[in-house]
């Protein structure tokens, strides 16, 4: 009895102490704090129970433009309205993403102290490694380098579809696994060339082990206990990638990988660390393309209406001469509004990415809300994409024509669409990923009739999981069989314009008038 009394007394004192600590360390000018039954602990329990919908729950409960979550050793400032998103993105030096990049690379790649020092140089300036890397490598992806890389990748896709069509009248596949393997192979072959490290089955198996636990490596404690298999797989891949670069095989790869390697070499990153950084960078190159391709194909093929709309539209981008059907890549991206709208709706409906910024000093956001130094500012794609205010009463429905402009219909706020992030966290490879996914869906529609296998009568909605490896989209937690039936045999090719003229404006930053 005495022990019970003592235990209850300790709990009461601890609870009182935490309440005092919580309220006395919360500044009156900070965004409103979420009420907690157990200080610092209640948010963690909410995250564990509701997972990716927890912030949606808080948004609906508190209905303010921003609120504060206090968790152990951290302040989380959660943005709920587009107006404050632009305010955050304007303060890219004070509210910086760079520390998050360094943290992620350090945890995922485990580079040497020398490399970390180089990576961390001048984080708040425009010439630091992380901002500089994006400026040096990625701008060309909006021009000829983008088309060259896209053409390489699409040529791999064309060859793989040829192989499928040559197998006969029907090929059975598990849809999610097939899409995953297909996009992984096409993307990595296009990037790395004929000596692609992921072409090797052992390396690919190691990649899947490493990929599955990337979030555990980034956010978890004691990774050598709880993610030892991922660390072993990563170390295996690092040796293979170091050998790839040492042999000069990247010179047979894309201009993209050649330029990226040259930049890191010029920056005096040690060869072993270049390999580690490259391995950690594979996921941003292909990881989110895979679920995007799956969900676009799923929503197109599972609805006769959507399939008819999109197939009729992409056929207008096909010309035939001497038995060769040529798909105009520019027309697919710029003149197929229904397909493009379906693509965007995939991001809105399944997107779950969260942009996080670190406050490098105290800052009064929008002149109203104090963001304390060290606090984390969070912009959740799921919060924005599920808002009735942003998207209307049918926000919980997948509507494939949602993004088509119609006379008299008010356009949605482009800032509320977080499919590719925004500001300094805007995905620099978005045009490459868009081209690959749209042409994957186009080729699948034009070359095959896809029907359900395993006795299924209707397309199942795969149960989604919580994306353990950090994907920006839901991942299907289960799989199902499909049969790929070749349409009438023809020769197919994809033509890219000689002069890049990309008019796809999916995000606010790409819209000239904004």
Domain-embedded: residue 239: yes
Are 191 and 149 within 8 A, CB to CB?
yes
Alpha carbon of residue 61 to chain centroid? 28
State yes or no: pLDDT of 168 exceeds 80. no
Exposed / middle / buried, residue 76 (Cβ in 10 Å: 0-12, 13-18, 19+): middle
Residue 510 CB contacts under 8 Å (≥ 6 apart), including other chains? 504
Q: How far is CA 473 from CA 52, 151, 265, 391, in A?
A: 11, 25, 33, 18
Contacts for 499 with CB less than 8 Å, ≥ 6 apart: none
- The confidence score (pLDDT) of residue 148 equals 86
Q: State residue 418's pLDDT score.
A: 92
Q: List the one residue out of 452, 439, 443 whose CA is nearest residue 484.
A: 452
pLDDT reported for residue 140:
44
pLDDT grade, residue 138 (50/70/90)?
very low
Q: Tell me the pLDDT tens digit for each residue of 169-194.
A: 788 999 999 999 999 999 999 999 99
φ, ψ of residue 49 to 5 degrees: the values are -80, -50
Query: Residue 16 domain-assigned?
Result: no
More confident residue, 103 or 192: 192
> Is residue 88 domain-resident?
no
Residue-wise pLDDT for 464-499, tens only, equals 655 545 677 888 878 999 999 999 877 999 998 765
Binding positions are: 427
> According to the model, what pLDDT value does residue 128 have?
43
Is residue 25, in this structure, part of any structural domain at all? no
pLDDT of residue 438: 97
CATH number at residue 259: 1.10.630.10
Token reading at 433: 């990923």
Q: What are phi and psi of 369, to 5 degrees?
A: -120, 125
What is the domain count for the chain?
A: 1
Contact 183, 290 (CB under 8 A): yes
Instruction: Answer with the residue of higher pLDDT: 167 or 125.
Output: 167
User: For residue 248, is it within any domain?
Assistant: yes
For residue 158, give both structure tokens: 């064309």
Name the residue with higher pLDDT: 118 or 61. Answer: 61
Domain extent at residue 226:
138-353+386-510
CA nearest neighbour of 395 among 380, 416, 409, 423: 416
Residue numbers in the known binding site for heme are 427
Instruction: Give dist(CA 265, CA 450) in Å, integer.
Output: 46
- Radius of gyration from C-alpha coordinates of the chain: 24
359 assigned to some structural domain: no
């Amino acid at each position: 009895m005495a022990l019970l009394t003592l235990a209850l007394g300790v709990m009461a004192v601890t609870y009182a102490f935490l309440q005092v600590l919580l309220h006395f360390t919360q500044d009156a000018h900070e965004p409103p704090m979420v009420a907690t039954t157990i200080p610092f602990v209640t948010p963690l329990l909410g995250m564990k129970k509701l997972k990716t919908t927890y912030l949606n729950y808080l948004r609906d409960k508190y209905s303010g433009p921003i609120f504060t979550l206090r968790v152990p050793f951290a302040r989380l400032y959660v943005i709920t309205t587009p107006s404050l998103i632009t305010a955050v993105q304007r303060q890219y030096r004070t509210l910086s993403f760079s520390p998050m990049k360094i943290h992620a690379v350090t945890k995922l790649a485990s580079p040497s102290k020398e490399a970390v020092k180089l990576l961390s140089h001048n984080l708040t300036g425009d010439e630091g490694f992380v901002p500089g890397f994006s400026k040096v490598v990625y701008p060309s992806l909006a021009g000829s380098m983008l088309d060259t890389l896209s053409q390489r990748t699409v040529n791999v896709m064309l060859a793989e579809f040829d192989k499928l069509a040559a197998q006969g009248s029907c090929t059975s596949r598990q849809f999610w696994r097939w899409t995953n393997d297909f996009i992984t192979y096409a993307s990595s072959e296009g990037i790395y060339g004929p000596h692609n490290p992921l072409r090797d089955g052992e390396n690919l198996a190691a990649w899947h082990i490493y990929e599955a636990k990337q979030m555990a490596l980034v956010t978890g404690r004691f990774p050598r206990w709880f993610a030892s298999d991922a660390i072993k797989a990563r170390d295996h891949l690092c040796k293979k990638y170091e050998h790839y670069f040492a042999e000069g095989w990247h010179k047979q790869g894309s201009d993209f990988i050649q330029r990226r390697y040259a930049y890191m070499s010029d920056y005096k990153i040690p060869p072993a660390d270049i390999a580690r950084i490259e391995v950690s960078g594979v996921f941003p190159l292909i990881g989110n393309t895979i679920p995007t391709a799956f969900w676009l194909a799923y929503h197109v093929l599972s609805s006769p209406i959507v399939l008819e709309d999109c197939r009729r539209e992409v056929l207008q981008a096909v010309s035939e001469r001497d038995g060769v059907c040529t798909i105009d890549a520019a027309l697919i991206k710029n003149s197929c509004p229904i397909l493009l709208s379906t693509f965007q709706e995939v991001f809105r409906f399944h997107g779950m990415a969260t942009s996080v910024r670190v406050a490098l000093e105290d800052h009064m956001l929008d002149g109203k809300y104090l963001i304390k130094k060290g606090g984390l500012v969070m912009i959740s794609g799921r919060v924005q994409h599920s808002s009735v205010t942003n998207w209307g009463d049918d926000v919980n429905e997948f509507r494939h024509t949602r993004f088509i402009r119609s006379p008299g219909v008010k356009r949605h706020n482009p800032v509320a669409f977080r499919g590719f992030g925004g500001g300094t966290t805007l995905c620099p490879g978005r045009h490459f990923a868009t081209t690959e996914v749209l042409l994957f869906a186009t080729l699948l529609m034009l070359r095959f009739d896809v029907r359900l296998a395993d006795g299924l009568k209707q397309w199942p909605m795969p149960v989604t999981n919580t994306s353990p490896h950090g994907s920006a989209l839901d991942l299907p937690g289960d799989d199902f069989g499909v049969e790929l039936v070749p349409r009438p045999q023809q020769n197919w090719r994809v033509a890219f314009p000689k002069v890049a003229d990309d008019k796809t404006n999916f995000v606010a930053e790409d819209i000239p008038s904004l």
